[in-house]
């Protein structure tokens, strides 16, 4: 998982900034709707919904917004019918890009994606062309202040985690997708603060992209700005020097 850790730190800082501008609310609402639709409106018995609600609370989403989204998912109140679709493509230097969307109009979504890929130097690919190079993982961070790395790693592994990495100011915990919610719950019960909890895709191998960093990130930024896009994953790798520069911007 080398390379994922350092970039994910920057991404979560960016996500926090986006949250302050209210940009993530729509995506979280969609996730709550889909989670409630798939597993019911009881967060205690629906781990996906519990995670979505925790994410909503972490960006200070009003309780009324959360409750309305749950009711839309369970059908108690009417609203758009969303579906989850994954699209795949290539960016600069042949970097593979996977785009998870939640949409109520897939024709609109694919047209917007094709436009962004084409305009900013990439192209859409056939289903399966890119996703094979990504493993699905559960992921969350725990602030590392005051914690011993070796002790924390042993505790996380005993709780069911697959891997632990030391980030800038937090420990990054990876799990299998099926164990994500149980590991997260186990760590919370042990008193650890859980942040940035999500199901993610981790590249199996990476493509060096220092020479196209700005162009590649521009493409990814515009993909992430689309209303229907939930998450974007890519298998690029930047040097420490480029990461340091991006972290200052």
Q: Decide if 134 contacts 201 (C-beta within 8 A).
A: yes
Asked whether 209 and 246 are in contact (CB, 8 A), the reply is no
Hunting for tokens 């094709």 — which residue is that?
Answer: 114
pTM for the predicted model, two decimal places? 0.85
Is the predicted pLDDT of residue 249 greater than 80, yes or no? no
Please give the helix or strand (H or E) that residue 86 lies within, else none.
Answer: strand 83-90
Distance in angstroms (rounded) separating the CA atoms of residues 98 and 149: 32
> How many C-beta neighbours within 10 Å does residue 140 have?
27
**Tens digit of each residue's pLDDT (9 = 90 or more) over 134-193:** 999 999 999 999 999 999 999 999 999 999 998 778 999 999 999 999 999 999 999 999
Q: Where are the domains of the chain?
A: 4-74
DSSP string for 31-100? HHHHHHHHH-S-TTT-HHHHHHHHHHHHTT--HHHHHHHHHHHHTSS-----EEEEEEEE-GGG-EEEEE
Are 211 and 93 a contacting pair, CB within 8 Å? Answer: yes
d(CA 142, CA 174): 11
Residues 184-237 pLDDT 10s: 999 999 999 998 888 899 999 999 999 999 999 999 989 988 989 988 999 998
What is the CA 169 to chain-centroid distance, rounded?
19
Model confidence pLDDT, tens digit, residues 96-134: 999 999 999 999 999 999 999 999 999 999 999 999 999
pLDDT digits (tens, 9 = 90+) for 60-80: 899 999 999 999 999 999 877
Alpha carbon distance 155, 145 (integer Å): 16
Q: Which of 97, 94, 131, 130 is nearest to 116 (CA)?
A: 97
- Return the CATH fold of 4-74: Arc Repressor Mutant, subunit A (1.10.10)
Of 62 and 246, more confident = 62
Task: Take residue 202 and report the two structure tokens written for it.
Answer: 């981790």
- What pLDDT, on the 0 to 100 scale, is given for residue 114? 97
């Amino acid at each position: 998982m080398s390379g994922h850790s350092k970039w994910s730190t920057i991404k979560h800082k960016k996500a926090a900034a986006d949250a302050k501008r209210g940009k993530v609310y729509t995506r979280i609402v969609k996730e709550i709707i889909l989670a409630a639709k798939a597993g019911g409106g009881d967060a205690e018995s629906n781990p996906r919904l519990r995670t979505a609600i925790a994410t909503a609370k972490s960006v200070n989403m009003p309780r009324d917004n959360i409750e309305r989204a749950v009711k839309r998912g369970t059908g108690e109140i009417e609203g758009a019918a969303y579906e989850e679709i994954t699209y795949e493509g290539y960016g600069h230097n042949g970097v593979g890009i996977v785009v998870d969307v939640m949409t109520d109009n897939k024709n609109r979504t694919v047209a917007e994606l094709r436009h962004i890929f084409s305009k900013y130097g990439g192209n859409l690919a056939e289903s399966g062309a890119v996703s094979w190079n990504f493993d699905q993982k559960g992921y969350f961070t725990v602030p590392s202040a005051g914690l011993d790395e070796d002790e924390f790693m042993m505790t996380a592994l005993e709780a069911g985690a697959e891997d632990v990495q030391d980030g800038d100011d937090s420990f990054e915990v990876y799990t299998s997708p099926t164990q994500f919610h149980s590991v997260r719950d186990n760590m919370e019960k042990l008193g650890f603060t859980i942040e940035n909890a999500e199901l993610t895709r981790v590249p199996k191998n990476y493509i060096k992209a220092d020479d196209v960093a700005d162009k590649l990130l521009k493409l990814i930024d515009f993909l992430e700005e689309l209303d229907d896009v939930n998450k974007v994953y890519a298998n690029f790798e930047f040097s420490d020097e480029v990461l340091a520069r991006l972290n200052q911007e």
